[in-house]
Chain A
Amino acid sequence: MELFLHQVLAGLATGGIYACMALAVVMIYQAIDHLNFAQGEMAMFSTFIAWQLIQWGLPYWLAFGATIVISFAAGVAIERVVLKPLHNAPVLSHVVAFIALLAILNSGAGFIWDYTIKSFPTPFGNGPLFAEGLMSRHDGGMIAVTLLMLAFLYLFFRHTRIGLAMRAAAANPESARLAGIRVGWMTALGWGMAAAIGSVAGMLIAPVVFLEPNMMLSILLYGFAGAVVGGLTSPGGAVLGGFLVGIVENLAGTYIPVVGREMKLSIALFIIVAVLCVKPSGLFGRPIVTRV
């Protein structure tokens, strides 16, 4: 029983990582209706920027805030420069652009900061959160920040005019334009916010998995899994989905002998496929109805 509890808590801790990432995935999905394969690399690149700022002597929280701002601006810039010219292009062109972004950011980071593994500081400390030592203070802090971001997003989308304008632009671009909403800028804003959320995710994940250009490859997969489980249209669902994936992955790794350490990653893929087969809109997502 103690092993079970321990694994659930550990799963919750890794689930916090996935939840962070899933939140960024859902954010961009809401804004552009596609999954952004470069999301993980964007987060990784942001984390390197934070690392560089800290190396230059900035205090942690200042670097944290500056990175969020820089990432936001970079997200907007990427949309304006790379995606805007493609806005009438078929989905496959977008996918190609995403993969190009992924490759560019990955090798760009490798080129600038090289591929050696770097440690990234945690603002929460590494000690245990409780006396039993089941969860570290960093894990607790990460979960708290994720929930805080979720609350912020909820308030932003439900109770601000710009949030309403973004929802309108995503739900019905043509009608939004007829209401005078600048749909293109709303999409850019969605990219900026997704990049900012991704940067927070990256900075929280880096102390656990260490900083290097490939740190996000598997985590993005888990983030996708979390977002799919929760439903790509529901930020709350995505966070819950992220936690669920973390827990399932840990329990499977512990209790199913075949899985072990090496097979853990396939759990994420298995979850994605299973959810898509049983409930394609996810646990909390709404079914997407298209008029034909």
Chain B
Amino acid sequence: MSKLLEARALCAFYGATQVLFGLDLSIEEGGITTLLGANGAGKTTTLRALCGMVRTTGDIRFDGKTISGRATEDIVRLGIAHVPQGRGTFSRQTVEENLEIGAMTRSGRAAIAADIERVYGYFPRLRERRRQQAGTLSGGEQQMLAVGRAMMLRPRLMLLDEPSFGLAPLIVEELFGILRTLNLTEKVSMLVVEQNAALALDVADEAYLIETGELVSCGPAQQLRDDENIRRAYLGY
């Protein structure tokens, strides 16, 4: 496996406040990587930094090309789909319009229509609600829509910010099952930020653990799961 995304000495700033302190991070092509850490550790900021949504220093390479310092729109166009925390749904638009918005960087009506059908194949409930305003969907459906919208970009890498947030356990299970399927059948690499460490370590291949903007530990997910000390100190289970 090769590195799809690599960040070296990544620092991120909100105004004058530094949030990330020299993070090294790499994501394997075709795998699921999870980023764990407590509240305020800088997980969301890491995802935002990778997409050029905050001021950063350090080097970020996607598929060998430097993307640090580029505009979010341009980074997205390279094939990085970011599903933000709170899902970023266009609530006044319909479900289908949301999916169309996801494909805004692409051309070819037929291919887009086919991909909308494909998303409906993974998330049949979205098909039932295709004409409904996205804001009226349940939390789980909105999260599925957000993932579906990200799929419409035909991404090579998907960044997911706490996909389980605020969802019922059964829905979370369903959602993570679908994410795994997408990873395997659509060959989408994923970086998943999660508070629910047990869940994330179950589906992930690789794991990173950060605290106050610095790397604590990284390695195969299995290894972090089996490390008693890390589990007790950082993952709380």
Indicate if the CB atoms of B90 and A172 lie closer than 8 Å: yes
Q: In the bound complex, what is the Cα–Cα distance between A286 and B133 (angstroms)?
A: 14
Q: CB-defined interface of B88-105 with A at 8 Å, one 1/0 digit per residue?
A: 111111000100111011
Indicate if the CB atoms of B104 and A180 lie closer than 8 Å: yes
The interface size of chain B toward A, counting residues with CB under 8 Å, comes to 23
Indicate if the CB atoms of A181 and B100 lie closer than 8 Å: no
Least CB distance from B110 to A in Å reads 14
Q: In the bound complex, what is the Cα–Cα distance between A177 and B91 (angstroms)?
A: 16
Q: Given that A174-B84, A178-B82, A178-B88 are known contacts, is A168 also in contact with B73, CB under 8 Å in the complex?
A: no
Q: Given that A180-B73, A183-B73 are known contacts, is A175 also in contact with B90, CB under 8 Å in the complex?
A: yes
- The 8 Å CB contact of A165, one of B82, B89, B104, is B104
Indicate if the CB atoms of A175 and B104 lie closer than 8 Å: no
* B65 contacts the other chain (CB 8 A): no
Give the residues in chain A near B210, CB-CB below 8 Å. Answer: none
Give the residues in chain B near A180, CB-CB below 8 Å. Answer: 73, 76-77, 104-105, 153
* B175 contacts the other chain (CB 8 A): no
Q: In the bound complex, what is the Cα–Cα distance between A95 and B168 (angstroms)?
A: 46
* B43 contacts the other chain (CB 8 A): no
* A167 contacts the other chain (CB 8 A): yes
Centre residue among A164, A171, A180, A183 by max chain B CB count within 10 A: A180
For A182, the closest partner residue in chain B by CB is B73
Q: CB-defined interface of B103-139 with A at 8 Å, one 1/0 digit per residue?
A: 0110000000000000000000000000000000000
Give the residues in chain A near B149, CB-CB below 8 Å. Answer: 179
Indicate if the CB atoms of A161 and B73 lie closer than 8 Å: no
* A176 contacts the other chain (CB 8 A): yes
Give the residues in chain A near B82, CB-CB below 8 Å. Answer: 178
Give the residues in chain A near B53, CB-CB below 8 Å. Answer: 174, 177
Given contacts A168-B104, A183-B73, 18 further A-B contacts (CB under 8 A): A164-B93, A164-B97, A167-B90, A167-B93, A168-B93, A172-B89, A172-B90, A175-B90, A177-B76, A178-B81, A178-B84, A179-B76, A179-B104, A179-B149, A180-B73, A180-B153, A181-B105, A286-B92
